[in-house]
Structure 1
């Protein structure tokens, strides 16, 4: 190895390392986002299944619907059920359950803002499950 090539690999590593870190951290961040979206979607489906089965729900039934939806969002901190539309006896309308969960980008948001960009994927993750009443 020539004397002038000694520090070349250190310089190349210093240039490549931040890009490699950003790619790996981005994969982890997007994995967290997709996990949250899938769990919230499944939670809304579980909640709406319970809402369709329990016709003319009482206050205890509404609590059971909410708890069922939140149980479907296991592993997602801060999940909430802001909206539940249930079925009346003999109704042919739709029941729906909305589930939301907060989500913060750990790496991608700050990295994009660092270079002057705007990360538009911030805010809560939300999903609404809808099923027809009566069958």
Structure 2
């Protein structure tokens, strides 16, 4: 009557496998979100740096941010800014906000949630 316990181990594994998969997907989502947040932060900073140069325009700042985001593999992002380039006096602050959508892996597992997270960062720098 003494069994090897193989059947019991198989049932336990079958019960825990979905939980383990969701946990791994959550860890991957967090890592991706952290990576994209760093890219968005750096893109906003690059945009603010471009925005404090007096000869640059709003289009130049947006182009700088989009170039950075494209090189980092991000798309579908939006950029807004205030007091950019020649529009601001010396000593004024330039603010650039970058927002990027992130599609979560676990989004399909939660009913009623599209799985999209909007990651947004703002950088502010003083004009020269």
C-alpha contact 2:79 2:96 (8 A) present in aligned 1:
yes
The match for 2:66 is 70
Q: Deviations over 1:50-109 (max 9, x none)?
A: 1112x154xxx32221111112222112122133431446432101111111122221x3
Looking at secondary structure, tell me which structure has more strand per residue: 2
**Residue equivalent to 1:133:** 127
| Contact 1:85 1:97 survives alignment (8 Å) | no
Please list, as runs of the form range in 1=range in 2, the aligned pairs for 1:9-88 lying within 5 A after superposition.
Answer: 9-53=9-53, 55=54, 57=56, 61-73=57-69, 74-87=72-85, 88=87
Moved more, 40-49 or 84-93: 84-93
Q: Deviations over 1:9-51 (max 9, x none)?
A: 1101112211211121111111111111111110000011011
Structure 1: stretches of 5+ with no match in the other structure: none
8 A contact 2:101–2:116 mirrored in 1: no
Deviation of 1:110 after TM superposition, in Å, equals 3.8
CA contact (8 A) 2:103 2:117 kept: yes
Match of residue 124 from structure 1:
118
Give structure 2 stretches of 5+ with no counterpart: none
Q: Distance in 1 between matches of 2:5 and 2:89?
A: 82
CA RMSD of the aligned region, Å?
2.5
* CA distance, structure 1, for counterparts of residue 59 and residue 91 of structure 2: 23
Preserved contact between residue 104 and residue 117 of structure 2 (Cα < 8 Å)? no
- What is the aligned length? 124
